[in-house]
Amino acid sequence: MTLHIEISIPQQRLRLLNQQDELLREFAVSTALNGAGEQKNSYCTPRGLHLVRAKIGAGMPLGMVFRARRPTGEIWTRTLAEQHPGRDWILTRILWLSGCEPGYNRLGNVDSMQRYIYIHGTPDTEPMGEPQSHGCIRMRNRDVAELFDMVEVGIQVDITG
């Protein structure tokens, strides 16, 4: 079955759809506090057609902390967060996005993959359904683990808004 993902920046929602565009799952997300945008170092969420280039974190426990796409062995806790104030927590799973539109979200100063744009887990203390991220698409840990298990590398991701 061919699946695809649609992410609405205005609605702060991620939808997993089948080939007939029937809704399979829908999740609240948090996109960039700075809004939509494709430029490197903008801390904005890039729009347009993407695909999942890599899936990282299979089999890791919920709350596993990642740094540079590698599990640290730490599980997120409030105490750990207090020890590292201001850290942008990347937890549980990573779906690394690659833009498909040269000059818009691929290559040069607009390359989503080089900007390290992910769909990833975040602490459950962080709000969902409102823009708060540094450019990535944040999800609840249980939600990102569920989505991760339902999709394959290469799935199309369309980010609108």
pLDDT band at 86 (very low <50, low <70, confident <90, very high): confident
* Domain assignments of the chain as residue spans, ordered by start: 30-153
The predicted structure's pLDDT at residue 123: 97
* DSSP letter for each residue of 42-80: S--BPPEEEEEEEEE-TTPPTTEEEETTEEEEEE--HHH
The predicted structure's pLDDT at residue 133: 97
The predicted structure's pLDDT at residue 131: 98
- Whether the per-residue pLDDT at 1 is higher than 90: the answer is no
Mind listing the pLDDT tens digit for each residue in 88-112? 999 999 999 999 999 999 999 999 9
How far is the CA of 103 from the CAs of 8, 50, 99, 106, 147, in angstroms? 21, 13, 10, 6, 29
